[in-house]
Structure 1
Amino acid sequence: MGVTLTLMDFWEGVRWLGETVPFFTVLPAFIGILVLVWMFAPELSTRRPTPTHPDGEYRFDPDDFEPR
């Protein structure tokens, strides 16, 4: 009996969401935006590239960077 009441409350909540917010219209768009950000985020790097020394240890050389 308790499970039935819980399911009824759940579906009542789903119905309420559908009436108050275009929930099932907004949710797929939101998920799509998150997927696009997740796919393209690695290509949106804000850090400047740092050249590495052939030994694998970084040694600063001003000629490696373009002047601002």
Structure 2
Amino acid sequence: MPSNCEILCEIIIAILLPPLGVCFRKGCCTVEFLICLVLTILGYVPGIIYAIYVIVFQHREEYFDEYRRPIYSA
């Protein structure tokens, strides 16, 4: 389980170089990385948005234990 500092560092890297942030989280030969690479080539901002989405929102249920689970999650 990554710490808050690791997630923050990945977000900063994702803002500077979006595909690199996704590569750290998912790996270099994944669909997420290729989507982020294409979005970054087509436009820098869509690449950043997608990279932050991949880092923060995908598989976030594994980062919440039963005591830190949000109220809206069932």
TM-score (norm 1): 0.28
Return the structure number with greater helix share.
2
Q: Relative contact order (alpha carbons < 8 A, sep ≥ 6): 1 or 2 greater?
A: 2
TM-score (norm 2): 0.26
Higher-Rg member (1/2): 1
